[in-house]
């Protein structure tokens, strides 16, 4: 019997009992959908972390620390010293000479001090908020930065000391300011503790002209600046799309020299023991051309007596953790397939009992035992393939719905309009369908073996 004949008989037999076949397919589909959703959660979270890192170009960055920092980011070191060495400590210092030396290494695009300031106060459009800033040299403004611009521009090399900023779109969106309208406006930076000194007053609208004597209506809260506030006035010259920078998408980007000033004014550098004013830094950022340059550049930097940290180290750990998580999720998701295994076996055993005379006729007409086995195995495999495909589609749909819920919950934290917590890559869809097919085929082995062993004479006598 040809394989095409085997397939035709198998699908014809399944079509005879539509309700039973449909119920079996539902069982397989639910099992596969559960497996798909569970594993896609692990894949989605891992992919989300990698996307956030890629958007901020963290993969091609190396953090350089003084010797002895043991790979920890300086801001998290105990004792408030942030990796800054005393004069009697061993190892070279991070200073301007080191910046120049590292900038000459092959594969290095730019080297600059870490001036990320996570705690600043800001006054913008009559309202105050907590803000972040990051100082960048003009050479660090890559094509990705330029593509992320929604309005305005970045500073040039000649403006490296200007008091200007490129604002994040998410901050402006929270304040109801459109990107185009923000260009040329002023933002005032201050120490974070200055925010508590602002007084709040309701801002009122005048009464409508056709309602004389009506009371003014309060519109919003207006913040009154304290008269002795120490502010740094900055002009906004550009606005970038926050989503393009992931977790770094709420930072005001400023020229490097100005970023060092904001860091000093914030008091953070002093708390960490920094000495940027003396030309020494708590950490340096080295931007390389591509991922392949990270390892050789790190090796050369460490040979000079410094500690380094690259996000690739964390990504390797994340990959191991999520591999374990995905195995556990697949285990729990596979429970549904185990249940469907018995459903398929029951369906195929019933099919053998119902078609005993038919099997006898096949054998009497010359069908071999292996032909009978193939027919029943083809039926079981068809249930596995069809149920697996339906389960993957259903699981994908459930994941998309949960993604929208997750986007609403995590929108502020991740600067994303759509957060894909559940992600179904092509390999996962193929794997789920393949697993369901194998499970179904294994479930059909005993019924197929039983059908092949039927004696045709005995089978023909069955009513």
The verdict on 131 and 249 lying in the same domain is yes
**Hey, which residues does 164 pair with through a beta bridge?**
235
The verdict on 126 and 47 lying in the same domain is no
Tell which of 274, 291, 306 closes a domain.
274
Residue 223 belongs to some domain of the structure: yes
The verdict on 201 and 255 lying in the same domain is yes
Q: Work out the number of other CB atoms within 10 angstroms of the CB of residue 188.
A: 17
The verdict on 268 and 325 lying in the same domain is no
Residue 434 belongs to some domain of the structure: yes
Report the SS3 class of residue 11.
helix
Rounded distance, CA 277 to CA 32, Å?
Answer: 61
The verdict on 374 and 427 lying in the same domain is yes
Give DSSP secondary structure letters for 240-270.
Answer: E-GGGGGGGTTEEEEEHHHHHHHHHHHTHHH
Q: What share of the chain is helix, strand, coil (3-state, %, to 5)?
A: 55, 20, 25
Question: Distances from the Cα of 270 to the Cαs of 38, 273, 281, 297, in angstroms?
Answer: 47, 5, 12, 30
Domain containing residue 234: 115-207+214-274
Rounded distance, CA 47 to CA 276, Å?
Answer: 37
Tell me the per-residue pLDDT of 443-455, one tens digit each, with 9 for 90 and over: 888 888 877 777 7
Instruction: Tell how far CA 215 is from the center of its chain.
Output: 50
The verdict on 133 and 233 lying in the same domain is yes
Residue 70's pLDDT is: 46
Rounded distance, CA 108 to CA 110, Å?
Answer: 6
- Element holding 233 (H helix, E strand): strand 232-240
Tell which of 238, 253, 274 closes a domain.
274
Rounded distance, CA 340 to CA 34, Å?
Answer: 12
Question: Distances from the Cα of 375 to the Cαs of 7, 15, 384, 439, 458, in angstroms?
Answer: 7, 14, 14, 17, 20
Rounded distance, CA 210 to CA 420, Å?
Answer: 51
**Tokens 């004479």, located at residue:** 457
Q: What is the CA radius of gyration of the chain?
A: 33
**Tokens 């020229």, located at residue:** 255
The verdict on 353 and 421 lying in the same domain is yes
The verdict on 349 and 455 lying in the same domain is yes
With beta carbons less than 8 A apart as the criterion, state whether 168 and 243 touch. no
Domain count, the chain: 2
The Cβ-side half-sphere exposure at 53, using a 13 Å CA radius, reads 20
With beta carbons less than 8 A apart as the criterion, state whether 255 and 141 touch. no
Instruction: Tell how far CA 248 is from the center of its chain.
Output: 13
- As given in the structure block, the two tokens for residue 2 are 């040809």
The verdict on 235 and 329 lying in the same domain is no
The verdict on 234 and 120 lying in the same domain is yes
**What 8-state DSSP symbol labels residue 80?**
G
The closest of 144, 87, 94 to 114, measured between CA atoms, is 94
Task: Please calculate the CA angle 222-225-228 and round it to the nearest 5 degrees.
Answer: 170
Residue 298 belongs to some domain of the structure: no
The verdict on 329 and 456 lying in the same domain is yes
Residue 103 belongs to some domain of the structure: no
Give DSSP secondary structure letters for 388-422.
Answer: HHHHHHHHHHHHHHHHHHHHHHHHHHHT-SS--SS
Residue 166 belongs to some domain of the structure: yes
Residue 277's pLDDT is: 45
With beta carbons less than 8 A apart as the criterion, state whether 154 and 238 touch. yes
The verdict on 123 and 270 lying in the same domain is yes
Rounded distance, CA 441 to CA 437, Å?
Answer: 6
Rounded distance, CA 253 to CA 133, Å?
Answer: 6
Residue 375's pLDDT is: 83
Residue 153's pLDDT is: 95
Residue 453 belongs to some domain of the structure: yes
Per-residue pLDDT in tens (0 to 9) along the chain, 463 residues:
566 666 676 777 777 778 888 888 898 999 899 989 988 988 888 887 777 666 666 778 888 988 876 444 443 343 334 444 444 445 688 888 898 899 999 999 999 998 888 889 999 988 899 999 999 999 889 888 898 899 999 999 988 889 999 999 999 998 889 999 999 999 999 999 888 888 887 765 555 555 555 555 555 677 888 888 889 999 999 999 988 887 788 899 999 999 988 988 887 655 445 444 456 788 899 998 888 888 899 999 989 889 888 877 777 777 788 888 888 888 887 888 888 888 888 888 887 777 777 777 777 777 777 777 888 888 888 898 999 999 999 999 999 888 888 777 766 555 555 677 898 999 999 999 999 999 988 988 888 887 777 776 666 665 5
14 sits in the region (left: phi over 0; alpha: psi -120 to 50; else beta) called alpha
Residue 417 belongs to some domain of the structure: yes
Residue 283 belongs to some domain of the structure: no
Residues making up the chain, counted from first to last: 463
Number of H helices, E strands in the chain: 16, 13
């Amino acid at each position: 019997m040809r394989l095409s004949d085997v397939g035709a008989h198998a699908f014809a037999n399944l079509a005879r009992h539509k309700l039973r076949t449909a119920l079996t397919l539902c069982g397989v589909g639910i099992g596969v959908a559960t497996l798909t959703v569970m594993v896609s959660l692990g894949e989605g979270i891992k992919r989300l972390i990698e996307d956030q890192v890629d958007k901020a170009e963290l993969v091609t960055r190396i953090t350089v620390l003084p010797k002895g920092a043991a790979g920890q980011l300086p801001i998290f070191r105990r004792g408030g010293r942030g990796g800054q060495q005393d004069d009697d400590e061993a190892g070279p210092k991070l200073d301007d000479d080191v910046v120049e030396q590292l900038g000459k290494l092959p594969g290095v695009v730019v080297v600059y001090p870490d001036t990320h300031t996570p705690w600043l106060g800001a006054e913008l459009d009559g309202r105050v908020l907590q803000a972040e800033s990051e100082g960048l040299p003009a050479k660090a403004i890559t094509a990705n930065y330029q593509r992320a611009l929604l309005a305005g521009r970045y500073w040039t090399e000649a403006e490296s000391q200007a008091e200007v900023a490129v604002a994040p779109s998410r901050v402006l969106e929270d304040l109801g300011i459109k990107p185009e309208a923000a260009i040329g406006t002023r933002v005032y930076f201050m120490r974070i503790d200055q925010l508590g000194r602002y007084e709040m007053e309701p801002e009122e609208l005048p009464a409508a002209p056709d309602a004389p004597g009506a009371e003014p209506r309060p519109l919003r809260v207006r913040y009154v600046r304290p008269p002795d506030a120490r502010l740094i006035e900055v002009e906004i010259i550009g606005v970038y799309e926050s989503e393009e920078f992931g977790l770094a998408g709420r930072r005001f980007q400023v020229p490097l020299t100005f970023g060092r000033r904001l860091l000093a004014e914030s008091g953070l550098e002093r708390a960490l023991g920094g000495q940027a004013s003396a030309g020494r830094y708590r950490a340096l950022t080295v931007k390389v051309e591509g991922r392949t340059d990270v390892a050789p550049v790190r090796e050369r930097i460490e040979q000079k007596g410094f500690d380094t940290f690259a996000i690739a180290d964390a990504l390797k750990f994340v990959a191991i953790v999520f591999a374990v998580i995905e195995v556990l999720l697949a285990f729990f998701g596979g429970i549904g397939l185990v249940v469907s295994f018995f459903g398929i076996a029951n369906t195929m055993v019933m099919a053998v009992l119902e078609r005993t005379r038919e099997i006898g006729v096949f054998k009497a007409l010359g069908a071999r035992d292996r032909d009978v086995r193939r027919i029943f195995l083809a039926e079981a495999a068809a249930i596995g393939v069809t149920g697996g495909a339906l389960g993957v589609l259903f699981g994908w749909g459930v994941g998309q719905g949960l993604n929208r819920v997750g986007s609403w919950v995590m929108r502020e934290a991740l600067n994303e309009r759509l957060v894909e917590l559940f992600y179904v890559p092509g390999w996962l869809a193929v794997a789920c369908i393949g697993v369901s097919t194998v499970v179904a085929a294994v479930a059909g082995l005993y019924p197929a073996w039983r059908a092949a062993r039927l004696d045709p004479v005995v089978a023909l006598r069955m009513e």
